[in-house]
Structure 1
Amino acid sequence: MKTIKLDAIDSTNTYLRQLSTQENVDDFTIVIAASQTAGKGQMGTKWEAEKGKNLTFSVFKKISCLETDEGFYISMATSLAIYNALKHFHIPKLAIKWPNDILSENQKICGILIENVIQNSKMTAAIIGIGLNVNQTNFEVGLNASSLKKIIGTHFDLDEVLFQITEQLQKYSHLITERAFEELKTAYESLLFRKDKPSTFRNTNGELFMGFIQGIAEDGKLNVLLEDEIVVAFDLKEIKLMY
């Protein structure tokens, strides 16, 4: 496993993508930065993190066994890997908020952004970007964010946390290679935040509605049971869970 450590970079995902166009990048190459000036979040948002206090890194994972419409299994495997790595450190009340945020005590501690590498209409690799709040304790008001240190009061060694995550990523990547999709899906759905609980959502028109999270469709969409007893599959752009 090759690790590239940088002091500051715009985005570790962008760095790895550019590197992959210039040379043959080894499987499980990790790029980690003490600071990101333009860290990426879902839907074009920015990931903010204090320099040197958190983990902001990307992993290059070669993948040739998935079709382009099966990419959400990478997201499932990554979420499960981080969940289990954090269980090792006894972080309480962990849950996965669809599609791939990790929560503790209902607060966001980790975000994941996965960018697939497609060549000749085939998936050849995935760039897995991970932002984990570790030792930062001050967050912008209204973010509903927390960190490992803020939750349990312990200062963490960043290298030790990174090691646990990469160990779990390697473990769960084998399930992708083996196409053990049902195992991944069952495990992922069992940890979904607010599964089978009455929840409020907002649609693209800004309208609020009630529903129950049922699970995940094969393409990664969120299955929601609506008040009229109809299950509808929503894409990330179509719905926002308001808690």
Structure 2
Amino acid sequence: MANQTEVLRLLMAAAPKYQSGDQLATTLNISRTAIWKLVRGLQNAGYSIESRHGRGYRYVENNQLSAAVIEDGLDLKRPVKLVVLPQVDSTNAYLKRLVAEQPLAQPTVVIADQQTAGYGRSGRPFYSPSKTGIYMSIGLPIGPSEPLDAGLLTTGTAVVVAQTLQRLFDVPVELKWVNDVLVNHHKVVGIMSEGVTDFESGQISSVIVGIGINLTTAAFPESIQYKAGAVLDHPTSVSRNQVIRELIHHFLTRYPAYRSGAFMDDYRKLSMVIHQRVSLKSGARTYDGIVEDIDAEGALVVRLDDATVRHFNSGEITKVHLLTGKYHG
């Protein structure tokens, strides 16, 4: 028996043209009444399906998240599993639960319309309201001969996200080491990588890369209003499904070679901290100095106030003292 997904795929393939009920019924070998019921189900689920007497039905792209819509046109060498949820505590947490039940056999992407307990670095909450953001986690199996380089993976992901936003929306994007993506001096994206260890071998068996994007979010909790922002402050014809499709395509296309660090020149061009004075918290200490570079492994190269040069593989920039511009966070 035909289902809603089959009807949706046929309508997407024909869009922006209409498909008559007779055409759909003949293709799926079901009655026109059954087609009408399936279309009604799609409309009730949030899909924009136009109905016009004498012409039939037409699919119109909207903001409804859909695995079928994301998969449409997603051309990858390796298959990917998509899980789309209306609500979840955290896409990273959900994916970790999946991995605990069954090791990943292929790249798996979990996407949610809303997170009730989204989190970032150090467990900080990530504000995740419905309809205005993109909250997704990409799970990747890690083989014994594939050592994980968390630094390069995170910086590589930041480049993919930044370039995708630039390409789709033509907005001024900057990167604050190591994983903050900014538009107009406000943080609009959070990225966090987490390794999952196999209990028996004690080795990392998979890695989860979480990406949270404030796409059109207009109101933020008071505690983050100063630093957080949205990619856009106006409506857009680019749907969340399109953004997610682009992110998945470019991330998985580049992932096999991420350890080469070939993207680091792009990262440096996008960086807002090179040649700027920063305060950096690493461990229990805070360091002050001028960022000279970001090295081939993604480490921050800082000339400290005592004139020594140090490479930081981990830490958090707590303050950027720009010589020009409005960013002071």
- Pairwise same-fold verdict (TM > 0.5): yes
1:211 aligned partner, one-letter code: I
> Is 2:217 the counterpart of 1:126?
no
Distance, in Å, in 2 between the alignment partners of 1:160 and 1:82 is: 13
Distance, in Å, in 2 between the alignment partners of 1:216 and 1:118 is: 28
Pick one of 213, 228, 245 that aligns with 1:145: 228
* Secondary structure at the counterpart of residue 217 of structure 2: coil
Matched, 1:163 2:245: yes
Name the SS for the 2:181 alignment partner.
Answer: strand
Larger radius of gyration: 2
Is the 2:104–2:140 contact (alpha carbons within 8 Å) kept by the matching residues of 1? Answer: no
Q: Which structure would you say has the larger RCO, counting Cα contacts within 8 Å and 6 or more residues apart?
A: 1
Counterpart Cα distance in 1 of 2:197 and 2:312: 24
- C-alpha displacement at 1:122, in angstroms? 3.3
The verdict on how the C-alpha distance between 1:155 and 1:50 changes in structure 2, with shifts beyond 3 A counting, is farther
1:103 is displaced (CA, Å) by 0.9
Task: Please identify which structure carries the higher strand content.
Answer: 1
What is the CA distance between 1:211 and its match in structure 2?
A: 2.1
- Counterpart amino acid of 1:144? K
Structure 2 residue identity aligned to 1:171: T
Deviation, structure 1 residue 46? 0.7
What secondary structure, in the 3-state scheme, does the structure 1 residue paired with 2:104 have?
coil
Q: Which runs of 5+ in 1 are unaligned?
A: none
Task: Give 1:203 deviation, angstroms.
Answer: 4.2
Q: Name the TM-score, length of structure 2 as normaliser.
A: 0.65
1:50 and 2:129 are equivalent in the alignment: yes
**Separation in 2 of the partners of 1:83 and 1:207?**
28
Quote how far apart the aligned CAs of 1:138 are.
1.7
For normalisation by structure 1, the TM-score amounts to 0.85
Structure 1 match to 2:175: 96
Find the residue that maps to 2:169 and give its secondary structure. coil
- The one-letter code sitting in structure 1 at the alignment partner of 2:249 is E
- How far apart are 1:113 and its partner, in Å? 1.0
Q: Tell me how far 1:235 sits from its aligned partner.
A: 5.2
- CA deviation after TM superposition for structure 1 residue 40, in Å: 1.2
Unaligned residue ranges in structure 2 (runs of 5+): 1-79, 322-329
Q: Is the 8 A contact 1:58 1:129 kept in 2?
A: yes
SS across alignment from 1:89: helix
The 1:153–1:4 alpha-carbon spacing in structure 2 relative to 1, beyond 3 Å, is closer
Shift of 1:72: 1.4
> CA RMSD of the aligned region, Å?
2.5
What amino acid maps onto 2:128 in structure 1?
A
Whole-angstrom distance in 2 between the partners of 1:207 and 1:42: 17
Deviations 1:111-153 (A, max 9, x none): 0111012332433321111100112112234442221221x65
How far apart, CA to CA, are the structure 2 residues paired with 1:63 and 1:77?
17
Shift of residue 213 of structure 1? Answer: 4.3
1:234 is aligned with what amino acid? Answer: F
Structure 1 vs Structure 2: percent identity of aligned residues? Answer: 24
Counterpart for residue 222 of structure 1 = 300
Give, in whole Å, the separation in 2 of the partners of 1:228 and 1:107: 31
| Superposition deviation, residue 96 in structure 1 | 1.4
What's the counterpart of residue 63 of structure 1?
142
- Residues 16-35 of structure 1, C-alpha deviations (whole Å, 9 max, x = no match): 11111112434221111111
Q: Distance in 2 between matches of 1:91 and 1:97?
A: 19
Deviation at 1:38, TM superposition (A): 0.9
SS of alignment partner, residue 98 of structure 2: helix
Shift of 1:237: 4.1
Does residue 1:180 correspond to 2:260, yes or no?
A: yes
In the alignment, residue 308 of structure 2 is paired with which amino acid?
A: I
Distance of 1:214 and 1:39 partners within structure 2: 32
